[in-house]
Amino acid sequence: MFFGGKGGVGKTTCASAFALATSAARQRDSTSARVLVVSTDPAHSLGDALNVRLSASPRQIRSRLDAVELDAPRAFARWLREHRRALGDILEHGTWLDRADVESLLDLSLPGVDELVGLMEIARLSREGSYDVIVVDTAPTGHTLRLLAAPETVGVVAGVLDALQQEHRLIRDRLARVTRGPEAADRLIERLATEAGETAARLRDRRQTSFRWVTLPERLSIAESLDAMRALERAGFRVDDIIVNRALPPSRPCPLCDRRRAEERRAFAVIRRRLSRRRRLRVIPAQLTEPRGLAALARIGRGVVGTKLASTEDTGETEEKPSKGLASVSSVSSVVASSSPTVSPESLPAIRGASLIFFGGKGGVGKTTVAAAIALRMARAVPDRRVLLLSTDPAHSLSDVLNVPVRDEPATVRHGPKNLLIREIDAPRALAARRKDLETALNEIASTLAVGPGSGTDLAAELMNLAPPGIDELFGIVSVVDARADYHAILVDTAPTGHALRLLEMPGAAREWVQALLRVLLKYRDLARPGQLARELVALAKSVRELQALLRDATHTRFIAVTRAAEVPRLETERLLKRLRRLQLSTSAIVVNALTENPGACVRCRTTAAAERQSLAALRRTLRRSNRAARQCAIIQTPLAAPPPTGVVALQHWAGQWK
Amino acid sequence: MQSCHFAILPYCNSVFILDSLLIGSLRFVLDKVVQAAEAEMQDDSALRDQLLEAQMRLELGEITEEEFAETERDILAAIREIKRPQQGAISMSPSDKITGVDIESFESEQET
């Protein structure tokens, strides 16, 4: 049972609520069903939501319910330890590489390891723990699509290994006339291929696997869900349930809540028309306080599991009001004019003078909205400087936030400043475009290193038809490198935390890979003259080295963490800041987004505002306790706006209300 | 000249000798002619290979920036050395002398 959705829509909440409810329901039937809830997002929130400390080994939450947060690099390391010999044999037999070369290659880190081993780990945990139901809390949309495609990638890898092993097998069978059974290497290849095939089939078997898609009754979330639904169906997965989370229940009049409810009605109309047709629709009402801990989640669980469509009637029947189009709706923000001085984000020391700014944070906190607003302000402030706003999240939101189509080529925004260009990286397409170059390079590697004739080159080409995990981060970095010469400032809107960190770790990983290949080419230079491939690798190594230096140069590069004033995002943000420090990157500002200020008489708004104040105070305390660099980190507060600002005009207006 | 000889050595062993044994003396003679012609052209490419190798070693951290700069300067000087008589053979004109003087003065500047 997979729970997917855009970042911050409540996948973790819904998944854990569902797991709680399922384990409880089965107990009453006196069937001994055991439930495991697994988080596959490299930036886990499951422990924060359940309010327990979790690790990579399942921990009992209560009777018949275990929870686990996958640690993909560790799982991969374990798998590698188990199969290192066999894998090394294959590489040694199938290539000119000697054992030392092979060992150094096996030690390299894999950029897409989270997606590659995620499903394998789930299968292992399921076997070892004999669970009846596995609830998977996935990473935000883009990387979940990569996770689901991973079995195909593993299948191709098995094919490449098989081709490498083929020559050795021939020699063994014909010359040595040894008729022993298959070697460990053969068994490994066989097992990889079988597991990949079985997993791919099981994922598409509707009796065994089901998908529930979580969304908010809000434009950005629905737009991403529609894209994801199309992508999932193309890949042969079927989503049975749509869960609309955080729908506002009716209450006394409140200018802010009323405006949001009007938005929700329009959103529900779209959901019914385009998302929930032929699917079950479940609606979970917004809680008054952030649902953390078992009791709060169990309350929600009844809504996720039960057959009743909670509160759909309230929100559903008044749909299809003549809509004037969202762009023309004036936004109501929670700010009362001139209540306290505002800031101009582009002139803050945290932003001014930067040539590379990364926006990161938990899913759904508003990274794209904040990045777009700052990009617009920066470009307007200095019209003779070229600014590029680049999205590296495979599930892009730039076009939805700016209300314009955005493609893989940099383009200006209608009604926006002419010196601002925007681009959404389409990594699979970029891969396809560079296909010829890469095939040439792979052929060169194969002809240099492979023993057998043409070993695995066809399969390597096949690999390029897929979108291998890690591809988004790789092309994200390549695009930043390429764009550096053409722009004064590049603003990068990253994927949610886990994958943003992977993006920032990518230069290091890429350099290790490039160096390993260079070392091999150099070692065998008498066998094959280092040619075009070596020249390209040298160029790549150089630009990656320069990028690494740039990333650590605080005068040019800034990292801006975007968060919300709530406990789960705050805890994730604090972990993010720690990881960034370890990467020697400086966080210059934290944007606490969408604050409910001056709540008036509305109970909901007042409760929210009070919780936000507490969370904000906790964040400030953490920063004060940290080192000097963290204490200098600016905190920017932005007001909640209903509907969320989209389009050039609304974004610029909204950015004028920041503090 | 010495370095180019070394760079072609593996080809001599594996490709040319094997071919000549198989196909015979006519091919052997032809190969020798081709080899001689290639050797002259590859003077420059062997040096370029050396430069690429130095770049690879720089990226691997096996040599320092200073060592690389020194190697690069030597190789570029050697490449210019090879290019100069070739250009001279094509045409002799007063402007060539000026180019030659330019290169010489540039090199002497770098060496100081």
What is the arithmetic mean of pLDDT over A231-248?
Answer: 92
Q: Please judge whether A534 and B56 are an interchain contact, meaning their C-beta atoms are less than 8 angstroms apart.
A: yes
- My answer on whether A523 and A609 are in the same domain is yes
Contact (Cβ atoms closer than 8 angstroms) between residue A240 and residue A280? yes
On whether residue A230 sits in a domain, the answer given is yes
Query: Which residues on chain B are in Cβ contact (under 8 Å) with A532?
Result: none
Which chain B residue shows the shortest CA-CA distance from A515? Answer: B60
Highest mean pLDDT pick, A163-177, A180-194, A320-334, B8-22 = A180-194
Mutate which of A538, A543, A546 to disrupt the B interface (most B C-beta within 10 Å)? A538
Q: Which tokens is A257 given?
A: 């809540």
Shortest CA gap A98–chain B (Å): 19
Q: Of A287, A316, A345, which closes a domain?
A: A316
Which chain A residue shows the shortest CA-CA distance from B46? Answer: A529
Which residues of chain B, if any, have pLDDT below 50? 1-9, 12, 88-112
Considering CB atoms only, which of A519, A527, A538 is closest to B55? A538
Q: What confidence tier does A239 reach under pLDDT thresholds 50, 70, 90? A: very high
pLDDT given at position A17: 92
Shortest CA gap A539–chain B (Å): 9
Considering CB atoms only, which of A527, A538, A541 is closest to B52? A538
Q: Please judge whether B59 and A521 are an interchain contact, meaning their C-beta atoms are less than 8 angstroms apart.
A: no
Distance CA A613, CA B12 (A): 79
pLDDT given at position A31: 63
Q: Please judge whether B56 and A545 are an interchain contact, meaning their C-beta atoms are less than 8 angstroms apart.
A: no
Considering CB atoms only, which of A515, A525, A526 is closest to B60? A515
Query: Which residues on chain B are in Cβ contact (under 8 Å) with A538?
Result: 52, 55-56, 59
Shortest CA gap B21–chain A (Å): 21
Residue type, A90: I
Computed on alpha carbons and rounded to an integer, the radius of gyration of chain B in Å comes to: 18
What is the arithmetic mean of pLDDT over A66-94?
Answer: 90
pLDDT given at position B45: 81
Q: Is B65 on the interface with A (CB under 8 A)?
A: no
Higher pLDDT, A174 or A399: A399
CATH number of the domain at A618, please.
3.40.50.300
Which chain B residue shows the shortest CA-CA distance from A521? Answer: B56
The strands making up A411-412's β-sheet, listed across from edge to edge, are A411-412, A420-424, A387-391, A489-493, A356-360, A557-564, A587-595, A634-639
Shortest CA gap B30–chain A (Å): 24
Predicted TM-score (pTM) of the model is 0.81
Q: Which tokens is A339 given?
A: 């209540």
Mutate which of A511, A517, A525, A546 to disrupt the B interface (most B C-beta within 10 Å)? A525
- My answer on whether A214 and A118 are in the same domain is yes
What is the arithmetic mean of pLDDT over A177-203?
Answer: 85
pLDDT given at position A328: 35
**For residue A356, is pLDDT > 90?**
yes
For B24-81, strand residue ranges (E) read none
Q: What are phi and psi of A495, to 5 degrees?
A: -70, 165
pLDDT given at position A321: 35
Residue A508 — left, alpha, or beta (φ > 0 → left; ψ -120 to 50 → alpha)?
Answer: alpha
What is the arithmetic mean of pLDDT over A203-210?
Answer: 91
Q: Which tokens is A268 given?
A: 């529900």
- My answer on whether A405 and A307 are in the same domain is no
Contact (Cβ atoms closer than 8 angstroms) between residue A2 and residue A15? no
Hunting for tokens 């993010």 — which residue is that?
A576
On whether residue A323 sits in a domain, the answer given is no
pLDDT tens for each residue of A2-61: 999 998 899 999 999 999 988 887 555 566 578 999 999 888 999 999 999 999 999 999
Q: Of the ranges A29-33, A248-252, A325-329, which one carries the lowest mean pLDDT score?
A: A325-329
What is the arithmetic mean of pLDDT over A616-623?
Answer: 92
Query: Could you check whether the bond before residue B85 is cis, i.e. omega within 30 degrees of 0?
Result: no
What is the arithmetic mean of pLDDT over A193-202?
Answer: 92
**For residue A145, is pLDDT > 70?**
yes
Handedness of CA A79, A80, A81, A82 (dihedral sign): positive
Shortest CA gap B14–chain A (Å): 10
pLDDT given at position A467: 64
Shortest CA gap A515–chain B (Å): 6
On the 0-12 / 13-18 / 19+ scale of CB atoms within 10 A, A197 is middle
- How many contacts does A have with B, using Cβ atoms within 8 A? 32
Q: Please judge whether B53 and A519 are an interchain contact, meaning their C-beta atoms are less than 8 angstroms apart.
A: no
- My answer on whether A382 and A310 are in the same domain is no
On whether residue A263 sits in a domain, the answer given is yes
pLDDT given at position A554: 87
Q: Please judge whether B57 and A522 are an interchain contact, meaning their C-beta atoms are less than 8 angstroms apart.
A: yes
Query: Which residues on chain B are in Cβ contact (under 8 Å) with A522?
Result: 53, 56-57, 60
pLDDT tens for each residue of A125-144: 888 888 989 999 998 888 89
- My answer on whether A628 and A517 are in the same domain is yes
For A154-299, strand residue ranges (E) read 211-215, 239-247, 280-285
Higher pLDDT, A589 or A340: A589
**For residue A474, is pLDDT > 90?**
no
The strands making up A59-62's β-sheet, listed across from edge to edge, are A59-62, A65-69, A35-39, A133-137, A2-5, A211-215, A239-247, A280-285
Q: Which tokens is A138 given?
A: 């996935």
Distance CA A230, CA A274 (A): 11
What is the arithmetic mean of pLDDT over A557-576?
Answer: 93
Q: Which tokens is A47 given?
A: 């422990």
Task: Spell out which chain A residues touch chain B, with contact meaning CB-CB distance below 8 angstroms.
Answer: 514-515, 518-519, 521-522, 525-527, 529-530, 534-535, 537-538, 541-542, 545
- Count of Cβ atoms closer than 10 Å to residue A24 Cβ: 18
Domain that holds residue A254: 2-316
**For residue A358, is pLDDT > 90?**
yes
Distance CA A367, CA A397 (A): 10
- My answer on whether A371 and A254 are in the same domain is no
Residue A130 — left, alpha, or beta (φ > 0 → left; ψ -120 to 50 → alpha)?
Answer: left
**For residue A462, is pLDDT > 70?**
no
Q: What confidence tier does A194 reach under pLDDT thresholds 50, 70, 90? A: very high
Which chain B residue shows the shortest CA-CA distance from A513? Answer: B60
* Start-end of H helices in A95-218: 99-106, 113-129, 141-174, 184-204
Hunting for tokens 């909670």 — which residue is that?
A310
On whether residue A333 sits in a domain, the answer given is no
- My answer on whether A549 and A625 are in the same domain is yes
Spatial CA neighbour of A68 closest among A51, A53, A56:
A56
On whether residue A408 sits in a domain, the answer given is yes
**Which H/E stretch holds residue A638?**
strand A634-639
Contact (Cβ atoms closer than 8 angstroms) between residue B27 and residue B15? no
Which chain A residue shows the shortest CA-CA distance from B8? Answer: A526
Query: Which residues on chain A are in Cβ contact (under 8 Å) with B52?
Result: 530, 534-535, 538
Highest mean pLDDT pick, A62-76, A422-436, B1-15, B86-100 = A62-76
- Count of Cβ atoms closer than 10 Å to residue A650 Cβ: 22
On whether residue A460 sits in a domain, the answer given is no
Q: Please judge whether A535 and B57 are an interchain contact, meaning their C-beta atoms are less than 8 angstroms apart.
A: no
Spatial CA neighbour of A477 closest among A425, A406, A429, A538:
A425
**pLDDT > 90: what percent of chain A?**
42
Q: Of A264, A295, A316, which closes a domain?
A: A316
pLDDT given at position B74: 92
Query: Which residues on chain A are in Cβ contact (under 8 Å) with B59?
Result: 514-515, 518, 537-538, 541-542, 545
Q: What are phi and psi of A248, to 5 degrees?
A: -70, 125
pLDDT tens for each residue of A151-167: 988 988 888 888 888 87
pLDDT tens for each residue of A266-294: 999 999 999 988 899 999 999 989 999 99
On whether residue A194 sits in a domain, the answer given is yes
The tally of domains found in chain A comes to 2
Which chain B residue shows the shortest CA-CA distance from A530? Answer: B49
Q: Is B10 on the interface with A (CB under 8 A)?
A: yes
Distance CA A493, CA A367 (A): 7
Distance CA A286, CA A327 (A): 25
On whether residue A632 sits in a domain, the answer given is yes
Largest CA distance in chain A: 89
Q: Of A271, A295, A316, which closes a domain?
A: A316
- My answer on whether A310 and A357 are in the same domain is no
Q: Is B49 on the interface with A (CB under 8 A)?
A: yes
Mutate which of B55, B58, B62, B64 to disrupt the A interface (most A C-beta within 10 Å)? B55
Q: What is the mean pLDDT of chain A?
A: 85
Q: Of the ranges A85-94, A331-340, A381-390, which one carries the lowest mean pLDDT score?
A: A331-340
Helix, strand or coil for residue A596? coil
Hunting for tokens 């596995």 — which residue is that?
A134
Q: What confidence tier does A521 reach under pLDDT thresholds 50, 70, 90? A: confident
pLDDT given at position A252: 86
Helices (H) and strands (E) in chain B, counts: 5, 0
pLDDT given at position A654: 93
pLDDT tens for each residue of B67-86: 999 999 999 988 888 776 65
Considering CB atoms only, which of B10, B55, B60 is closest to A519? B60
Q: Is B41 on the interface with A (CB under 8 A)?
A: no
- My answer on whether A266 and A405 are in the same domain is no
- My answer on whether A247 and A390 are in the same domain is no
Q: What confidence tier does A567 reach under pLDDT thresholds 50, 70, 90? A: very high
**For residue A489, is pLDDT > 70?**
yes
- My answer on whether A210 and A125 are in the same domain is yes
Q: Please judge whether B59 and A518 are an interchain contact, meaning their C-beta atoms are less than 8 angstroms apart.
A: yes
- My answer on whether A172 and A281 are in the same domain is yes
Contact (Cβ atoms closer than 8 angstroms) between residue A115 and residue A394? no
Please report the ipTM that was assigned to this predicted complex. 0.71
Considering CB atoms only, which of B10, B49, B59 is closest to A538? B59
Distance CA A478, CA A470 (A): 13
pLDDT given at position A345: 84
Handedness of CA B83, B85, B87, B89 (dihedral sign): negative
Q: Is B52 on the interface with A (CB under 8 A)?
A: yes
Considering CB atoms only, which of A515, A534, A542 is closest to B52? A534
Which chain B residue shows the shortest CA-CA distance from A527? Answer: B10
Mutate which of B9, B48, B52 to disrupt the A interface (most A C-beta within 10 Å)? B52
Query: Which residues on chain B are in Cβ contact (under 8 Å) with A537?
Result: 56, 59
